[in-house]
Chain A
Amino acid sequence: MRRHASAIAVHAILGLYTLLALFPIVLVVMNSFKAKRAIFNTPLRPPLPMNFDPVGYTKVFGDSSLPLYYLNSITVTVGTIFLTLLFGAMAAWALTEYKFRWNTLLALYLSVGIMVPIRLGSVAIIQLVAELNLINTLTALVLVYTAQNLPLAIFILSEFIAQIPRDLREAARCDGLSEYNIFFHIILPLIRPAMATVAVFTMIPVWNDLWFPLLLAPAGGKQTITLGVQQFLGQYITDWNAVLAALSTAIVPVLLLYVIFSRQLIRGLTSGAVK
């Protein structure tokens, strides 16, 4: 009886939190389908035939540069995820599997990266990127984001790799696999759930980031969607229909990516390996 009550309490709290978290998103999506007047007069009313107006969407899709910005955001996010996972898993594997001289020191150095926010180094990063002639390129963003996300990725993936039974790696060695093949054919498939977790963690801040696109790629058709939306926000006039429509559509790609990754979050992937 008591357990029942506490379960209800837990669900109530979680439900409340879900409502709270979803409210602004629902509000954005709802109002993106409404006429400008309706947005301001009745912001909480859902889109109905009388106040329905897809002007925001026609504007967003009519603007020739916005699809490009979407593509930029997707490129940057997917590129970052790919590099973070590849190098993160490789570094995690090396740090957990091989004993070499600077092993502990290197791990410690990387964990510093988790503690120090990368934005503190913005000025140095701008200088570096400028000297490399990478201003207004997506490469600059991908590199910075990869550097930003690697420490945590390595930290999480190391823990998972350490849990893979030693016998499995040794069986693979006896089977004649090279170290690269052990990594790609044994380790990577077995840490898929961890990689999906890291991918989700990595993707959201990268997709939403405004700071580095503003600093490193603010022009030249290399703007990301979060930056691109800013063109509808003026000092005196803001085109709310377009802003809300752009934000609503910006949810879709991350949502798709999330669905893809969350399908990898299968539990007990290593069950049956040993014992």
Chain B
Amino acid sequence: MAEVRIENLRKSFGAVEVLKDIDLTVEDGSFVVLVGPSGCGKSTLLRSIAGLEPVSGGTITIGGRKVNDLPPAQREIAMVFQSYALYPHMDVAANMGFGLRFARTPKAEIEARVAEAARILQLEPLLKRRPRELSGGQRQRVAIGRAIVRKPQVFLFDEPLSNLDAALRINTRVEIAKLHKLLAATIVYVTHDQVEAMTLADKIVVMNQGRIEQQGKPLDLYYRPANLFVAGFIGSPAMNFIAGQVTQGGIDLGPDGAVTLAGLTAAAVGSRVTLGIRPEHVRIADGEGGLRLSATVELVERLGEAGYVHLRLPSGTVAVAEIRGETSLRTGDRTSLALDPTHLHLFGPDGRRMV
């Protein structure tokens, strides 16, 4: 296994820059997940690492070796595609051993490695089947098996679970996590599913419009998002945002009221800010207080043990509060909500995190 280091990576399609100055280090043996909305460049970044996409600038090193100008085959990577991309005219065993055959690996060695991968992925009874005779989950495991047998330095996964149904997706997710432990593999994994990102990653890289917005441990991103984009992207339901202006000792939220807040510098007075708070840190509570806002109930979603109340503030902003257990709230009720001061996020006019 090896470390992947990406420095100042740029990529343009004609005049459109899809990757802008990407710096990223994937530590040896770590699981890095690239997330972001569609078109953010995460797949392009992965394909650049694989060598399927020529880059316009910067360097990519795998295991200390600069690979910019090497074809995919010489980068010692293995890629698992979203569509699985199994060779339809070969059986499972041939699919897995195909790459080795062309690397002039001795036949006995190919068979041993295929058998080993089949054992790990429980594909033994399927080795003589064609891809079209397999279910989606089985095809996915064959695709992973094809990657394993090559013993690559780095595994690249391009949204591998998005074609599976919900139940299978959870199963396969767990299997991939186990596989990562078992092989001690370096993995770069692209997904738009933040649950996959949160559960699998050692490090999450949030991308937007060709840039890395933030990278870090999953919970760091969750509790200390660096900017508005990451704050809104990580977490489901998304973080609530309320616009306001810094005053002496607090924030004026316009028609929604005001909150008192310590720790703001005097220099910040007058600047426009955005207050962010996650639904689980908003409580429904009657009465008055420093961090209380009045609101009207728009919708109550009940999921069983928990639920979400959508509230409309006087300014028209909709905020979501998480509730535990039953509630008597109904659409149209007037109530007030309390914000947990220890979990308030404040973002400056440029969208960056303040304090």
Contacts and interface: CB of A to CB of B under 8 A. Distances in A.
B13 to A, nearest CB: 12
Contacts of A171: 79, 81, 85-87, 146
Nearest to A167: B85
Interface string B70-114: 011110011101111111110000000011001100000000000
A115 interface: no
B12 interface: no
Contact of A173 (B52, B86, B132, B136): B52
A181 B87 CA distance: 13
B272 interface: no
Contacts of B103: 176
B81 A269 contact: no
Contacts of A176: 72-74, 99, 102-103
A94 B85 CA distance: 21
A273 interface: yes
Contacts of B102: 175-178, 181
A152 B312 CA distance: 65
A174 B87 contact: no
Interface bracket on A: 20 to 34
A274 B51 CA distance: 21
B85 A271 contact: no
A173 B87 contact: no
Given A173-B72, A174-B79, A273 B52 contact: no
Given A173-B71, A174-B72, A174-B78, A274 B87 contact: no
A159 interface: no
A165 interface: yes
Contacts of B163: 275
A264 to B, nearest CB: 12
Interface in B96-155: 98-99, 102-103, 130-134, 136, 139, 146, 150
Contacts of B88: 190, 269-273
Interface in A111-166: 165
B204 interface: no
B329 to A, nearest CB: 44
A170 interface: yes
Contacts of B87: 168, 171-172, 186, 273
A253 interface: no
B50 interface: yes
Nearest to A182: B102
Contacts of A67: none
Nearest to A164: B88
Contacts, number: 87
Interface in A169-200: 170-178, 181, 186, 189-190
Given A170-B52, A175-B98, A175-B99, A273 B86 contact: yes
Contacts of A190: 88-89
- B50, B79, B136, B150 pick with most chain A CB within 10 angstroms: B79
A165 B89 contact: no
Interface bracket on B: 20 to 34
Interface string A239-275: 0000000000000000000000000000011111111
A190 B83 CA distance: 17
Contacts of A167: 81-85
A230 B99 CA distance: 56
- B72, B85, B130, B133 pick with most chain A CB within 10 angstroms: B85
B354 to A, nearest CB: 44
A171 B77 CA distance: 11
B79 A273 contact: no
Nearest to A186: B87
A210 B297 CA distance: 87
B119 to A, nearest CB: 21
Contact of B89 (A172, A178, A269, A274): A269
Contacts of B82: 167
- A186, A270, A274 pick with most chain B CB within 10 angstroms: A274
Contacts of B72: 170, 173-174, 176
B73 A274 contact: no
A273 B131 contact: yes
Nearest to B78: A174
A272 B130 contact: yes
Contact of A175 (B132, B139, B150): B150
- A175, A268, A273 pick with most chain B CB within 10 angstroms: A175
A270 B88 CA distance: 6
Interface in B41-80: 50-52, 71-74, 77-79
B85 A165 contact: yes
Contacts of B98: 172, 175
A175 B73 CA distance: 6
Nearest to A168: B85
A178 B101 CA distance: 12
A268 B132 CA distance: 10
B131 A174 contact: no
24 contacts: A167-B81, A167-B83, A168-B85, A168-B87, A170-B85, A171-B79, A173-B51, A174-B50, A174-B72, A174-B77, A174-B99, A175-B150, A176-B73, A176-B103, A186-B87, A189-B89, A190-B88, A269-B89, A272-B86, A272-B134, A272-B139, A273-B87, A273-B88, A273-B131
Interface of A: 165, 167-168, 170-178, 181, 186, 189-190, 268-275
Given A171-B146, A173-B71, A273-B131, 6 more contacts: A168-B85, A170-B81, A175-B146, A272-B131, A273-B87, A274-B86
